[in-house]
Amino acid sequence: MDITQTTADDVRLFKQRAKQGIAEAQHLLGMCFLQGHHVAQDAAKAARRFRQAAGQGLADAQFAYAMCNVHGIGVARDDAEAVRLYTQAAEQGLAQTQSVIAHYYYRGLGPHSQDKAEAMRLWRQAADQGHA
């Protein structure tokens, strides 16, 4: 969903559903806070919403919260947490994270020892989904 296409009414609905614990709404509300779309921009609130949705296993939120951890957006930098989240999302088939984890394997970064064959496998999976 392109968050910039949402309305103020959509954001109110995201808030209601996020309070009910609906992961997709938590993630979308996090995107609104991250971009300041119909709410005051607040990286800490964005990260908190991403974390809530990621904890429920939503791959897009795992990717978003991993990005927060890598770049210190709304949270302290935590590369180990980012790798854990990227890995969870990649295992669910999220192409963006498959590509990130492939890079880690290719370079031997984080907890991943260098494994170019595994990197190529993950890049192919991502490419098969249209992510180059």
Confidence of residue 12 (pLDDT cuts 50, 70, 90): very high
d(CA 66, CA 130): 21
d(CA 56, CA 93): 16
Give Cβ neighbours of residue 101 (< 8 Å, ≥ 6 apart): 86, 87, 90, 112, 122
d(CA 74, CA 47): 6
Q: Quick check: 1 pLDDT over 80? A: no
**pLDDT digits over 40-85, tens only?**
999 999 999 999 999 999 999 999 999 999 999 999 999 899 999 9
At 7, is the secondary structure helix, strand, or coil? coil
| Residue 32 confidence (pLDDT) | 97
Q: Quick check: 10 pLDDT over 90? A: yes
pTM of the model: 0.88
**pLDDT digits over 75-125, tens only?**
999 989 999 999 999 999 999 999 999 998 999 887 778 899 989 998 999
| Residue 74 confidence (pLDDT) | 98
Amino acid at 33: F
CA distances from 39 to 6, 22, 34, 84, 114 (A): 12, 19, 9, 30, 43
| Residue 131 confidence (pLDDT) | 85
Q: Count CB-CB contacts under 10 A for residue 35.
A: 13
Residue in the block written with tokens 């190529």: 120
Confidence of residue 23 (pLDDT cuts 50, 70, 90): very high
d(CA 43, CA 60): 17
